[in-house]
Amino acid sequence: MKDVCPFGENGNWYKGNLHSHSNVSDGKLKPEESVDLYKSNGYSFLAFSEHEVFTNWSKFNTKDFLIIPAIERGIYPRSSKCFHIHGIQGSKAFRENSSKKCLEHMDRTIPPEFKGKETVQTVINELRDSGNLVMFNHPNWSFNELDDFVDLEGYFALEIFNYGCEVEERNGLSTVYWDSLLRRGKRVWGIATDDNHNSNKFGEAKPSWDSLGGWVCLKSKELTQDAIADALLEGRFYSSSGPEIYDYGVKNGKVFVKCSPVEKIYFITESHANSRMNSEGKTISSSTYEIIGRENYIRVECVDKYGKIAWTNPIFIE
Ligand SMILES: [Zn+2]
Ligand SMILES: [Zn+2]
């Protein structure tokens, strides 16, 4: 097994939320209020993914903060089940290869009538063909079964953790679907987001109550739309609801991870994986896993004492 360096050799870390709503759709905050919230909490980028409205708020871009143009499209069969498909604007080179006209600021879409899985595939294709990287959103919250999306193609990532869904309904975690896809050889990255709407249906709360709980940290040489889109597509990032990951990869036949102090580090593969726990109340901040050679993929979860998690993307064993 060759050495693998998933984050790349050089670059800076940038933290961002790729899924959020403002009052342009069903969120509470104005776009500028959301920008202030995320900027003041150390984020470098934010995607507004309004329902059926593509937005490109580039007017909020500064040297150290970037808006990622995006949209969330929905498909609603006549049941509690739904499909939410996320378009994140790709790099200029990606968009130039698009077969359809790229979406522009305030372009609106209409949920199509559900006629089966092919309707979902059509929406994925439309988003991708109009210049977007496609993420399959919150399958747990959407009451999706694996069978609903296992055959779909053309999405680069699964939303593995949605903080808003977790806060409201305790169904924000979708890693079980991710492993099912990975076991079948699907190569999809895992992304944690907020999906913040900033209104609390349970009563009084700070506007940030469903914000700042799920994010990605990616490594990139610069903070530009092209560089961020490419880092996402290439998987040069990890997701988190708390812990930080400093390094991760394969060296001398072992998967290694270095992270902020946590209670447990899990190496997850198709077989019963090894885990590393703290002992006597101490924390750990690194671990390794020796590759047997029968794994198709290995990914890592670092879990702190509060149950907060950092998720690496999978390394695929060739
Ligand atoms: Zn959604
Ligand atoms: Zn959403």
Q: Which ligand is nearest to the CA of 144?
A: 1
Structure tokens at 130: 């109009």
What pLDDT does 203 receive? 65
Cα(72) to centroid(ligand 2), Å? 6
Q: Residue 230: what residue type?
A: D
Cα(298) to centroid(ligand 2), Å? 29
230 backbone dihedrals φ, ψ, rounded to 5°: -70, -40
Q: Which ligand is nearest to the CA of 70?
A: 2
Cα(6) to centroid(ligand 1), Å? 28
The position carrying tokens 């700070």 is: 206
Q: Which whole-number Å values give the CA distances from 85 to 50, 104, 150, 155, 296, in the listed order?
A: 11, 17, 14, 9, 27
pTM of the model: 0.97
DSSP string, 245-268: EEEEEEETTEEEEEEEEESEEEEE
Cα(271) to centroid(ligand 1), Å? 32
d(CA 121, CA 251): 38
Cα(198) to centroid(ligand 2), Å? 12
d(CA 109, CA 72): 10
What pLDDT does 93 receive? 97
pLDDT per position as a tens digit, 276-317: 777 777 899 999 999 998 899 999 999 999 999 999 999 999
d(CA 310, CA 263): 12
The class of domain 242-318 in CATH terms is mainly beta
User: Which residue stretches of the chain have pLDDT < 70?
Assistant: 201-205
What pLDDT does 79 receive? 86
Cα(162) to centroid(ligand 1), Å? 9
Cα(196) to centroid(ligand 1), Å? 10
**Domain parsing of the chain, residue ranges:** 12-239, 242-318
12-239 maps to which CATH number? Answer: 3.20.20.140
